């Protein structure tokens, strides 16, 4: 009897062991080359670490390995091989269930990943640009043949360019997917479909997909079959098997249809197929997220996206518990939508929930933790809390550098984001340093002609502009414009931004006619792409108003500033930096009309907004102090004027140093007050300091330099007459 029991126990033990062994494989990704499948290669020498188990060394030449599973669930802590990284970073953050299927871990060298991504991106960019040009030519033909009205033509172009504005994100997403796609884990049919889409051969992809039958009929059949399953309990188990097979098949085809339509900018049709896939299985959180991502990024349907993200979150919390990476991802995505909606406190709360989970699961040094730090920092930036924003984004940068090293696009993005925050803090030398670090990385990774490189040129140009180095600013904006026109063509929001920024430089240099030409080019593109009610359109109205002001056409300047203020309030509400800018500019026009009460009212509105958002020591606050001082000076209240001018001077010197044109402006204005008070010695001293700076920064022939020189000559003449 004892022998029999021992035999049974041993036999049972053997069977349990056999049933609970998980097979795995570490390999490179399978590829399609010239339409032929080339399998990936095994990676012997890899180390697979399973939580609470001894690390497994992969010895087989084909990369296969196995390990026992005691409780049917396990987590993989890491998969490592020298010089290789996992294509799916999430592979080491999942809870796995034991399966008879082989568990694949796909790895490549960072160099190969980047090479594949850039090659895919180049191909996609060329294809999409060609399709855009073809659609433009079709519209041009229709209008030339008078088959559509001018209004229809403009509406069609507007829609086309609005779609094109999402081109970069689309290219990046598709390049990411197809540069990491493992063709080994597909059957031949979907290998060919994916290959055709990757090669931009959409007609072939569509034809191949249609060989599987009418998807609309089959989708409807699947839904009816699902209802039948619920109604007929006796047939449930058999029906479920058949149904799940159909769901998987239809879901694959839905996603392929989605990709095919997305690549052709048919976003409504693309969203339809993602929605159909979700209806096939409303509990699949990945499908819910895919749909929500697309609705948010491409259709701006934020409320619907939020609904799908929240559904995914509730399912994940119920299935996985509160402290799981996928739950953190849901919190992160919900935070992004709230940020899009301008509900920043809700955005901050959800991003902090994501961060707490990620730190608990991954520890401090993980890219997902860096992502949460970055997103929290950007929310604080939108709230105007720039020191808090800087602290979080710097934490993100430290992690990314530790994980990726210095020369990685994500590290460049962090440098750029830090530069953006320093720009808002008025710390322009720090902003310049970080933007130049971002540029160096992007040029090393992407080469010279890439939109990310153009962004860095643009940001550096803006910083030089704030530093008063206008020639250097102009060079960088022109470099950005050349890249954007090469990549996007003539009519694109990014091109409009460069036109606008170049116009601003000419404005600062006193060439207002040339500035107006660039501003109007920007406005034409923006209205064509966005319509009338958009912040970029308001920005163009504002800048054209500035030119009208410099050209002494004050009636038109007032009209443009009022249009800008109306749009800004409609878009942002009453309390926003751009609203302050519009209030400031309107104050300037009322001042020129001699309506000091209205001018002072608008300047004080601008000051109140700026102090609350930026604090006391920001150049925009100094600008408001300067303008209020000017009104008091015009009213003859020189003591108050002097008080405000000195406040402005202190801030400008702290922000820019001693040799900046805005510091010279403060010296000049203080000199004017002392002149009005007949204190000629002090007036001469301040005018002379203003002149020295303006000669150095603006040159001898600049109008501001000449005005200061004339004032000094007048003071000297008065002093001589007094003697």
On whether both 713 and 564 belong to a single domain, the answer is yes
pTM of the model: 0.57
| pLDDT single digits (tens) 466-522 | 888 999 999 999 999 999 888 878 888 888 999 999 999 998 888 999 999 999 999
| Rounded mean pLDDT, 70-90 | 87
State the angle between helix axes of 409-425 and 386-404 in degrees (0 to 180), rounded to the nearest 10.
Answer: 160
Q: Are residues 645 and 568 in the same domain?
A: yes
Asked whether the beta carbons of 719 and 684 are under 8 A apart, the reply is: yes
> Does the pLDDT of residue 124 top 70, yes or no?
yes
The answer to whether position 254 is within a domain reads: no
Starting at the edge strand that comes first in sequence, how are the strands of the sheet with 21-27 ordered? 64-68, 21-27, 103-108, 85-86
β-pairing verdict for 21-27 and 73-80: unpaired
Res 571 pLDDT > 80: no
* The pLDDT value given to residue 7: 24
> What pLDDT digit, counting tens, does each position of 247-263 carry?
899 999 999 999 898 77
In three-state secondary structure terms, 364 is coil
Residue 232's pLDDT is what?
75
| 718 and 578 fall within a common domain | yes
324 occurs within a structural domain: no
CA distance 404 to 410: 8
486 is a domain residue: yes
Q: Is residue 42 part of a domain?
A: yes
Of 108, 133, 159, which marks where a domain is finished?
108
Same domain, 592 and 671: yes
Rounded Cα gap, residues 207 and 254, in angstroms: 14
Q: Tell me which residue of 190, 246, 256 sits closest to 220, measured CA to CA.
A: 246
Kindly give the pairing relationship between strand 31-33 and strand 56-57. unpaired
39 lies in some domain: yes
User: Token pair 């197809």 is at which residue?
Assistant: 178
On the question of pLDDT at 47 being above 90, the answer is yes
- Alpha-carbon distance of 223 to 246, in angstroms, equals 10
CA distances, 625 to each of 138, 287, 617, 632, 672 (Å): 55, 54, 11, 11, 16
- Are 521 and 657 contained in the same domain? no
The residue among 105, 112, 53 whose CA lies nearest residue 81 is 105
**pLDDT of 40:** 94
Residue 54 is part of a domain; what is its CATH number?
2.60.40.1120
Angle among Cα 102, 105, 108 to the nearest 5 degrees reads 145
User: Between these two residues, 594 and 667, which has the higher pLDDT value?
Assistant: 667
Mean pLDDT of 179-206: 89
CB 398 within 8 A of CB 410: no
Based on the fold, state whether residues 434 and 472 are members of the same structural domain.
yes
User: Burial level of 709, CB count in 10 A (0-12/13-18/19+)?
Assistant: middle
Q: Which DSSP string corresponds to 514-532?
A: HHHHHHHHHHHHHHHHH-S
Section 542-569 average pLDDT: 88
Sort strands 21-27 and 103-108 into parallel, antiparallel or unpaired.
parallel
Return the pLDDT at 344. Answer: 75
- Model pLDDT, residue 165: 64
Are the C-beta atoms of residues 347 and 338 closer than 8 Å to each other? Answer: yes
User: Is 568 found in the same domain as 676?
Assistant: yes
- The C-alpha atoms of residue 348 and residue 116 are separated, in whole angstroms, by 36
Residue 32: which domain range?
Answer: 2-108
- Looking at residue 146, its pLDDT comes to 84
List the end-to-end C-alpha distance of the chain, in Å, as a whole number. Answer: 131
* Tokens representing residue 633 in the block: 């000076």
Q: Are 485 and 590 within one domain?
A: no
Lowest mean pLDDT among 73-77, 225-229, 295-299: 295-299
Q: Exposure pattern of 625-662 as b/e (b: 16+ CB <10 Å)? A: bbbbbbbbbeeeebeebbebbbbbbebbbebbeeebbb
pLDDT at 13: 25
Q: Final residue of a domain: which of 56, 83, 108?
A: 108
CATH number of the domain enclosing 587: 1.25.40.10
Q: How far apart are CA 522 and CA 495, in angstroms?
A: 8
Distance CA 266, CA 274 (A): 13
What is the average per-residue pLDDT within 415-429? 87
| Residue percentage of the chain with pLDDT more than 70 | 95
Q: By the 8 A CB rule, do 462 and 473 touch?
A: yes
CA angle in degrees (0–180, nearest 5) for 614-618-620: 90
Same domain (yes/no): 520, 587: no
Residue 17 has pLDDT above 70, yes or no: no
Answer yes or no: do 507 and 574 share one domain: no
In this structure, the answer to whether residues 579 and 666 fall within a common structural domain is: yes
What is the reported pLDDT for 384? 66
Provide mean pLDDT across the span 14-31: 71
In a domain, 566, yes or no: yes
CA 708/CA 716 separation, integer angstroms:
12
Q: Which residue has the tokens 């879901």?
A: 251
Total number of domains constituting the chain = 3
> Is there a domain that residue 602 lies in?
yes
Coil, strand, or helix at residue 664? Answer: helix
What digits encode the pLDDT tens for the residues 423-466?
877 788 899 999 999 999 999 998 888 888 999 999 999 999 88
Give pLDDT, residue 703.
79
Mean pLDDT of the 346-367 span: 93
Cross-strand pairs, 75: 95
DSSP letter string, 620-653: HHHHHHHHHHHHHHHTT-HHHHHHHHHHHHHHHH
Per-residue model confidence (pLDDT) at position 16? 29
pLDDT of residue 15: 30
Look at residues 54, 73, 108 and tell me which one is the last residue of a structural domain.
Answer: 108
pLDDT higher than threshold 90 for residue 529: no
Model confidence at 130, in pLDDT bands (50, 70, 90)?
Answer: confident
Count the neighbouring beta carbons within 10 Å of the beta carbon of residue 515: 25
Does 591 reside within a domain?
yes
Angle at Cα 378 formed by Cα 374 and Cα 380, nearest 5°?
Answer: 115
* 69 has pLDDT over 90: no
Residue 568 shares a structural domain with residue 692: yes
Mean pLDDT of the chain: 86
Q: Hey, how many other C-beta atoms are within 10 angstroms of the C-beta on 68?
A: 14
3-state secondary structure 458-483: HHHHHHHHHCCCHHHHHHHHHHHHHH
C-alpha distances in angstroms, 135 versus 122, 128, 333?
20, 11, 34
pLDDT of residue 216: 92
Q: Give CA–CA dist 205/193, Å, rounded.
A: 5
């Amino acid at each position: 009897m004892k022998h029999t029991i021992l035999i049974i126990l041993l036999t049972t033990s053997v069977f349990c062991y056999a049933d609970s062994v998980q097979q795995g494989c570490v390999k490179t990704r399978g590829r399609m080359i010239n339409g032929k499948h080339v399998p990936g290669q095994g990676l012997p020498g890899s180390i697979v670490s399973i939580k609470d188990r001894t690390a497994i060394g992969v010895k087989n030449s084909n990369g296969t390995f196995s390990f026992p599973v005691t409780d049917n669930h396990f987590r993989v802590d890491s998969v490592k091989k020298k010089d290789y990284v996992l294509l799916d970073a999430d592979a080491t953050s999942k809870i796995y269930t034991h399966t008879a299927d082989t568990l694949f871990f796909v790895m490549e060298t960072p160099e190969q990943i980047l090479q594949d991504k850039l090659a895919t991106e180049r191909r996609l960019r060329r294809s999409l640009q060609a399709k855009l040009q073809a659609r433009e030519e079709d519209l041009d033909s229709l209008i030339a043949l008078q088959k559509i009205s001018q209004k229809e033509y403009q509406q069609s172009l507007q829609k086309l360019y609005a779609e094109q504005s999402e081109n970069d994100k689309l290219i990046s997403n598709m390049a990411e997917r197809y540069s990491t796609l493992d063709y080994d884990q597909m059957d031949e049919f979907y290998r060919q479909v994916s290959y055709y889409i990757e090669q931009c051969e959409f007609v072939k992809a569509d034809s191949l997909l249609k060989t599987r039958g009418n998807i609309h009929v089959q989708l409807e059949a699947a839904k009816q079959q699902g209802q039948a399953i619920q109604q007929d309990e006796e047939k449930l188990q058999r029906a479920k098997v058949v149904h799940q097979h159909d769901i998987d098949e239809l879901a694959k085809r839905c996603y392929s249809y989605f990709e095919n339509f997305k690549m052709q900018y048919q976003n409504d049709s693309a969203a339809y197929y993602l929605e159909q896939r979700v209806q096939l299985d409303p509990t699949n959180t990945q499908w819910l997220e895919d749909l929500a991502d697309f609705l948010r990024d491409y259709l701006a349907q934020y409320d619907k996206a939020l609904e799908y993200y929240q559904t995914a979150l509730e399912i994940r919390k119920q299935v996985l518990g509160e402290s799981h990476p996928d739950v953190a991802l849901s919190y992160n995505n919900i935070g992004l939508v709230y940020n899009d909606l301008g509900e920043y406190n809700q955005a901050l709360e959800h991003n902090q929930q994501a961060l707490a989970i990620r730190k608990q699961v991954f520890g401090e040094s993980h890219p997902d933790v860096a992502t949460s730090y970055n997103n929290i920092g950007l929310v604080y930036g939108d709230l105007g809390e720039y020191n808090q924003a800087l602290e979080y984004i710097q934490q993100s940068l430290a992690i990314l550098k530790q994980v990726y090293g210095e020369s990685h696009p994500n590290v460049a993005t962090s440098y750029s984001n830090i530069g953006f925050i320093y720009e808002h803090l008025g710390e322009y030398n720090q902003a310049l340093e970080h933007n130049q670090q971002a540029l160096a990385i992007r040029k090393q990774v992407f080469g010279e002609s890439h939109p990310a490189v153009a962004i860095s040129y643009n940001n550096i140009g803006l910083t030089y502009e704030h530093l008063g180095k206008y020639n250097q600013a102009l060079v960088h904006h022109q470099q950005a414009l050349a890249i954007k026109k090469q990549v996007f063509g003539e009519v694109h929001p990014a091109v409009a931004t460069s036109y606008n920024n170049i116009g601003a430089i000419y404005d600062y240099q006193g060439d207002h006619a040339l500035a107006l030409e660039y501003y109007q080019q920007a406005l034409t593109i923006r209205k064509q792409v966005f319509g009338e009610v958009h912040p970029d359109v308001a920005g163009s109205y504002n800048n054209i108003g500035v030119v009208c002001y410099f050209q002494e056409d004050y009636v038109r300047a007032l009209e443009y500033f009022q249009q800008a203020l109306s749009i800004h309030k409609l878009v942002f509400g009453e309390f926003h930096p751009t609203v302050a800018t519009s209030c400031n500019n309107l104050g300037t026009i009322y001042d020129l009309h001699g309506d000091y009460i209205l001018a002072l009212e608008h300047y004080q509105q601008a000051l109140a907004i700026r102090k609350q958002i930026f604090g006391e020591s920001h150049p925009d606050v100094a600008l408001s102090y300067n303008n209020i001082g000017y009104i008091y000076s015009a009213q003859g209240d020189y003591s108050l004027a002097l008080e405000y001018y000195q406040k402005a001077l202190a801030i400008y010197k702290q922000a820019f140093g001693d040799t900046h044109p805005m510091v010279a402006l403060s010296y000049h204005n203080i000199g004017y007050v002392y002149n009005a008070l007949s204190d000629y010695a002090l007036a001469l001293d301040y005018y002379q300091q203003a002149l020295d700076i303006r000669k150095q920064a603006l040159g001898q022939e600049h109008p501001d330099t000449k005005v200061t020189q004339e004032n000094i000559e007048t003071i000297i003449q008065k002093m001589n007459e007094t003697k």
